[in-house]
């Protein structure tokens, strides 16, 4: 019959649209979740004695070297009231020393796990304990793709990347500054970015932290989106705050932290530790410093509002011995990230750590090799919030469209990894082998037919075809596959529905705020 009608396409457009989605590549409907709950144990690298030494060193750093606080008298007052020993360095800089154990005591009111609400309740994420949340990379000034190379990011890129994130079932969170929208004035960017997250995604996201008033704007926009009462009672936004390593908290950062905490919103407290530059280059020391800095920063939230969600964090990096350049996706920081997981669990605090790091300038073999080294440490170490899960290239200077979709596909594979191995009568499969016996294949066994749809992760992008088929179809490399994929995803993207009144209210807020101040470009 088919031979009689050779010109008829095998699958008509109509047939395609009727086929269940699970017949498309990479669907894996059984693995889709708003956030991952790990079913595999964490990979615990160090034993009790070594962990105690690291914790004791962190305590000693806080007690004997101290943290330098700059230009925030409100934070100074809070730390001093809590018992910090304050030494004035200058009119706007103070050294704070904390007796061993003091910071840990303050952190006891921080929740071990909390919910960040999304405008689509199906996308609420829980952060802490055995959960894991993937978010796109954060903070690159440049974007790159295979067609146009590297250039400064724009708000159009930013919107594209929010849409790509929303398109992937394997990210759980819209992230924050996916790229810097450098065509928007510095003092107004946060408005466009927060609006884009709210409008083009229906997932949870990060707000602005670059100035306290921008943090306040971010929260204000949440009050429009979620309602003020809801925001007062729940966490709907997070801010990602960097310490100024080594051992400094600057006043813009602490004021931002206070803004989020006062509103009961969550904050992430990240030392970005480039070993040898701003931290010891031995990993035990870097981890001890990371713990000390992040704990001291987290503690401020509890002094502002006990119970406010705070996330311990660490971005560990190495450097090239030759050039002094930072290096990413190397083995030593991967080990350090595993240890950060152990330390966070001992504090019973949520952790942000590691991600898909790379120094490569292209979405090539180096990029994915380095990324995997780093990303495996995040998921095995038990990090709960993984920023930089998609798009990271060029030592974080560039957000890559192609790497973004590559990383998303791998994020899906990690859903299968985190699901672990179920061991029961059915999965042990004795009957599968017994049915036909030695020497007979298992394609047609009841066991195979029962399990074949969900047994294995199905990638949307990897080429598993025979060489000849792959070659006939053009012999493309993975970067080319990714280049086509992000374009297809953007073409197919549909914005999640939003009440037009709400949309207008958000737009109105943005317009009024923008009109209220002149453009600033620094």
Q: Is 332 in the site for its own copies (CB under 8 A)?
A: yes
DSSP letters for 162-215 = HHHHHH-TT--B--S-SB--TTS-TTTHHHHHHHHHHHH--SB-B---SSHHHH
Question: Residue from 34, 35, 57, 107 that binds its own copies (CB under 8 A)?
Answer: 57
Q: Is 82 in the site for its own copies (CB under 8 A)?
A: no
Given the complex with its own copies, which of 240 and 318 has the nearer CB atom?
318
Q: Is 420 in the site for its own copies (CB under 8 A)?
A: yes
Q: Is 160 in the site for its own copies (CB under 8 A)?
A: no
Q: Is 265 in the site for its own copies (CB under 8 A)?
A: no
Question: Residue from 278, 343, 351, 387 that binds its own copies (CB under 8 A)?
Answer: 278
- Closest among 158, 357, 193, 179 to 272, alpha carbons compared: 357
Given the complex with its own copies, which of 424 and 501 has the nearer CB atom?
424
Q: Is 141 in the site for its own copies (CB under 8 A)?
A: no
224 in Cβ contact with 498 (< 8 Å): no
Q: Is 355 in the site for its own copies (CB under 8 A)?
A: no
Choose the stretch contacting its own copies; rule: CB under 8 A; options: 8-16, 187-195, 240-248, 345-353: 240-248
Q: Is 121 in the site for its own copies (CB under 8 A)?
A: no
Q: For its own copies, what does the binding mask look like between residues 92 and 111, x meaning CB under 8 A?
A: ---x----------------
Q: Is 462 in the site for its own copies (CB under 8 A)?
A: yes
Q: Is 54 in the site for its own copies (CB under 8 A)?
A: yes
Question: Residue from 126, 159, 180, 458 that binds its own copies (CB under 8 A)?
Answer: 458
Instruction: Kindly give, in sequence order, each residue whose CB lies less than 8 Å from that of residue 107, ignoring residues fewer than 6 positions away.
Output: 295, 298, 299, 302, 310, 347, 349
Question: Residue from 186, 211, 413, 490 that binds its own copies (CB under 8 A)?
Answer: 413
Instruction: For residue 451, count other CB atoms closer than 10 A to its CB.
Output: 15
Taking the C-alpha atoms of residue 51 and residue 342, their distance in angstroms, rounded to an integer, is 8
Residue 215's alpha-carbon distances to 201, 219, 228, 336, 425, in angstroms, are: 20, 6, 16, 31, 53
Q: Is 45 in the site for its own copies (CB under 8 A)?
A: yes
The footprint of its own copies on residues 180-199 (CB under 8 A) is none
Instruction: Report the SS3 class of residue 113.
Output: strand
The footprint of its own copies on residues 291-330 (CB under 8 A) is 318-327, 330
136 in Cβ contact with 160 (< 8 Å): no
Choose the stretch contacting its own copies; rule: CB under 8 A; options: 108-116, 171-179, 191-199, 451-459: 451-459
Minimum Å distance from CB 8 to its own copies? 22
Q: Is 146 in the site for its own copies (CB under 8 A)?
A: no
Minimum Å distance from CB 379 to its own copies? 10
Q: Is 44 in the site for its own copies (CB under 8 A)?
A: yes
Question: Residue from 73, 74, 88, 426 that binds its own copies (CB under 8 A)?
Answer: 426
- Closest among 415, 389, 314 to 35, alpha carbons compared: 415
Task: Report the chain's terminal Cα–Cα distance, integer Å.
Answer: 70
464-501 per-residue burial string, b: 16 or more CB within 10 A, e: under 16: eeeeeeeeeeeeeebbebbbebbeebeeeeeeeebeee
Minimum Å distance from CB 424 to its own copies? 8
Taking the C-alpha atoms of residue 484 and residue 461, their distance in angstroms, rounded to an integer, is 10
In terms of Cβ atoms closer than 10 Å to its own Cβ (0-12, 13-18, 19+), residue 332 is: middle
Taking the C-alpha atoms of residue 245 and residue 243, their distance in angstroms, rounded to an integer, is 6
Minimum Å distance from CB 500 to its own copies? 41
Question: Residue from 65, 211, 224, 498 that binds its own copies (CB under 8 A)?
Answer: 65
Q: What angle do CA 72, 75, 77 make, to 5 degrees?
A: 110
Question: Residue from 424, 491, 501, 516 that binds its own copies (CB under 8 A)?
Answer: 424
Question: Residue from 8, 10, 14, 441 that binds its own copies (CB under 8 A)?
Answer: 441
The footprint of its own copies on residues 497-516 (CB under 8 A) is none
Instruction: Report the SS3 class of residue 8.
Output: coil
Q: How many residues bind its own copies (CB under 8 A)?
A: 130
Minimum Å distance from CB 39 to its own copies? 10
Instruction: Kindly give, in sequence order, each residue whose CB lies less than 8 Å from that of residue 443, ignoring residues fewer than 6 positions away.
Output: none
309 in Cβ contact with 114 (< 8 Å): yes
Given the complex with its own copies, which of 68 and 503 has the nearer CB atom?
68
Q: Is 410 in the site for its own copies (CB under 8 A)?
A: yes
DSSP letters for 21-85 = GGGSTT--GGG--SSEE--S-----S-HHHHHHHHHHHHHIIIII-EEEES-HHHHHHHHHTT-E
55 in Cβ contact with 47 (< 8 Å): no
Q: Is 251 in the site for its own copies (CB under 8 A)?
A: no
Q: Is 13 in the site for its own copies (CB under 8 A)?
A: no
Instruction: Report the SS3 class of residue 407.
Output: helix
Taking the C-alpha atoms of residue 224 and residue 497, their distance in angstroms, rounded to an integer, is 16
The footprint of its own copies on residues 469-488 (CB under 8 A) is 470-471, 475, 477-479, 481-482
Choose the stretch contacting its own copies; rule: CB under 8 A; options: 11-19, 54-62, 172-180, 211-219: 54-62
Given the complex with its own copies, which of 200 and 401 has the nearer CB atom?
401
Q: What angle do CA 466, 471, 473 make, to 5 degrees?
A: 100
Question: Residue from 1, 91, 122, 423 that binds its own copies (CB under 8 A)?
Answer: 423
């Amino acid at each position: 019959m088919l031979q009689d009608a050779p010109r008829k396409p095998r699958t008509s457009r109509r047939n395609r649209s009727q086929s269940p989605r699970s017949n498309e590549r990479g669907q894996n409907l059984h693995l889709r979740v708003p956030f991952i709950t790990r079913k595999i144990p964490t990979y615990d690298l160090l034993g009790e004695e070594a962990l105690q030494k690291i914790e004791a060193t962190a305590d000693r750093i806080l007690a004997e070297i101290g943290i330098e606080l700059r230009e925030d008298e409100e934070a100074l007052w809070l730390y001093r009231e809590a018992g910090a020993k304050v030494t004035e360095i200058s009119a706007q800089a103070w050294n704070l020393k904390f007796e061993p154990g003091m910071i840990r005591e303050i952190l006891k009111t921080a929740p071990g796990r909390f919910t960040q609400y999304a405008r689509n309740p199906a996308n609420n994420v829980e952060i802490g304990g055995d959960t894991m949340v993937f978010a796109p990379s954060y903070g690159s000034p440049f974007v790159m793709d295979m067609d146009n190379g590297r250039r400064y990011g724009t708000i159009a890129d930013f919107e594209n990347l929010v849409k790509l994130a929303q398109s992937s079932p394997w990210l759980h969170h819209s992230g924050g500054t996916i790229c810097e929208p450098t065509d928007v004035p510095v003092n107004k960017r946060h408005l466009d970015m927060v609006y884009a997250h709210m409008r083009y995604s229906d997932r949870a996201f990060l707000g602005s932290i670059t100035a306290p008033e921008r943090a306040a704007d971010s929260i204000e926009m949440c009050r429009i989106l979620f309602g003020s009462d809801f925001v007062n009672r729940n966490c709907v936004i997070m801010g990602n705050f960097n310490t100024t390593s080594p051992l400094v908290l600057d006043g813009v950062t602490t004021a931002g932290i206070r803004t989020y905490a006062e509103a009961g919103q969550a904050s992430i407290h990240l030392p970005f530790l480039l070993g040898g530059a701003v931290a010891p280059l031995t990993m035990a020391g870097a981890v001890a410093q990371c713990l000390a800095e992040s704990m001291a920063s987290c503690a401020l939230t509890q002094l502002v509002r006990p119970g406010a969600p705070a996330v311990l964090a660490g971005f560990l990096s190495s450097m090239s011995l030759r050039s002094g350049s930072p290096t990413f996706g190397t083995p030593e920081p991967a080990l350090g990230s595993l240890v950060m997981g152990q330390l966070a669990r001992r504090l019973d605090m949520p952790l942000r750590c590691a991600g898909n790091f790379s120094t490569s300038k292209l979405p090539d073999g180096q990029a994915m090799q380095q990324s995997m080294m780093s990303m495996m440490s995040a998921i095995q170490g038990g990090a709960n919030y993984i920023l930089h899960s998609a798009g990271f290239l060029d030592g974080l200077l560039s957000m890559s469209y192609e790497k973004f979709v590559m990383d998303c596909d791998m994020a899906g594979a990690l859903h299968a990894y985190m699901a672990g191995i179920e061991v029961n009568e059915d999965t042990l499969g004795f009957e599968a082998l017994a049915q036909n016996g030695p020497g007979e294949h298992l394609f047609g066994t009841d066991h195979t037919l029962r399990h074949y749809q969900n047994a294995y992760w199905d990638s949307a992008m990897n080429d598993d075809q025979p060489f000849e088929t792959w070659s006939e179809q053009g012999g493309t490399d993975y970067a080319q596959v990714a280049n086509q994929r992000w374009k297809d995803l953007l073409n197919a993207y549909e914005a999640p529905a939003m009440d037009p009144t709400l949309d207008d209210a958000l737009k109105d807020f943005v317009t009024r705020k923008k009109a209220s101040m002149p453009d600033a470009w620094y």
